[in-house]
Structure 1
Amino acid sequence: MKQPVEISTELTQQEAELLLAELRGRYSQVLNEVWYADQFRLIPEGLRHGSILNAMPLMAAQKRLMGALTHSLRAVK
């Protein structure tokens, strides 16, 4: 079983929004680069995103961080 790591930080709303925008941009860029890569192109589209996340732990971490930032920003508004 994987040992979870919990991270806590305080950001201003502007910092959180900018970080979220940066993460979304990088995530989208990498996803577009690997979507049709030989390793993934034969996987059905409905399963491909999950397969990419399983093979690329950095993208999985980015996705969770984007979710946490989005949730926190909604709670502030």
Structure 2
Amino acid sequence: MEQSTIKLSKKIKNDLKKQMNHPGETYETVIARLLKNAQEDDVLSPAIIKNIEEGVADIKAGRVYTSEQVKKRLGLK
């Protein structure tokens, strides 16, 4: 494996430490996991797309409630 050195600000280094799942986790593992998660977040699953489409259809059909209506129904102020 080729190794490289990169410069990080103290803030970024501390942010990466906060993302560690355990004290022995390497920065490389943390960065790889964050990159994988970022790539996965860019893709909407078919279930998410379906939920969005259903929500838009509900809005267009008027099947929505205002915050005040919800509060009243739940007995909140």
Q: Which of the pair is proportionally richer in helix?
A: 1
Normalised-by-shorter TM-score class: 0.3 to 0.5
Q: TM-score, normalised by structure 2?
A: 0.32
Higher relative contact order (CA 8 A, sep 6+): 1
